[in-house]
Amino acid sequence: MNLSRTILVLTALALSLPSFAVKKVLGKLGQATEATTIYSSMSKRSHAYYRVKQYEYLVVNSARGNWMRVLMCDGRSGFVPAETVAKLPYQVTADVGGRSGDRSGGTLASRSGSAIANYATNFVGTPYVWGGNDPQRGIDCSGFVKQMFGQIGVSLPRTAAEQVNVGMPVQRLEDLQPGDRLYFWEKKRNKVGHTGIYLGRGYFIHSSHGNGGVATDYLGTQKWLRILVAARR
């Protein structure tokens, strides 16, 4: 299989975030609830284009009986069993006149993650407020992560201790990608008590009481590495 031609596409410009100009609707955002396969037609006996991992994002064009039609990066359509995909309340869009697909490869999860990471940096300097949910006026760590992912229709639980149970685990530091969620142990409360979003090149962004609000930090310091307990995608 030529994965560069069949992997799903969503570039940063395709995300409907406030800082992006988007016009053309490509479909709905979907997420695989289990590992599944994209087929060339509505039959498991047809050609298998691509193996989708659990929690991977897809662009869903339509539903046909027990199948969902999804967009692939060369502009063609593939089909996945409907019971293996959850549709999220978010429209995937792209610039009018732009390419319908991206032949450079890369998964939808990695591209949407990069867009989330870039978008999150717009809020550097927002004050830290315990229990806050406003990325402009005041927000805490888990509220910040929840609000950022909410921009692409991904609904996360409210607290870091709950969020850490959602998503695909990232086992090694070298596998981290922009947009991955980081979770840290809070000794005082004896549980996962802090979270942030990985930006790339060893840095992450979070709303921190110690920093006075939303700021970036270097993950490679012992301060953070010794309490990092999980990463999710």
Cβ burial of 84 (10 Å; 0-12, 13-18, 19+) is middle
Residue with tokens 């004050």: 127
- The type of residue at 227 is I
Q: Is 206 a catalytic residue?
A: yes
> Which residues have a Cβ under 8 Å from the Cβ of 172 and sit 6 or more positions away?
none
Q: What is the DSSP string of 62-127?
A: EEETTEEEEE-TTS-EEEEEGGGEEEEEEEEEE-TTS-SS-TT---HHHHHHHHHHHHHGGGTTPB
Q: Catalytic site residue 47?
A: no
Q: Closest Cα partner for 182 from 89, 88, 108, 116?
A: 116
Which of 47, 73, 206, 209 is flagged as catalytic?
206
Of 47, 73, 194, 209, which one is the catalytic site residue?
A: 194
**Catalytic residue flag (residue 194):** yes
DSSP state of 57: E
SS3 172: coil
- State the catalytic residues: 141, 194, 206
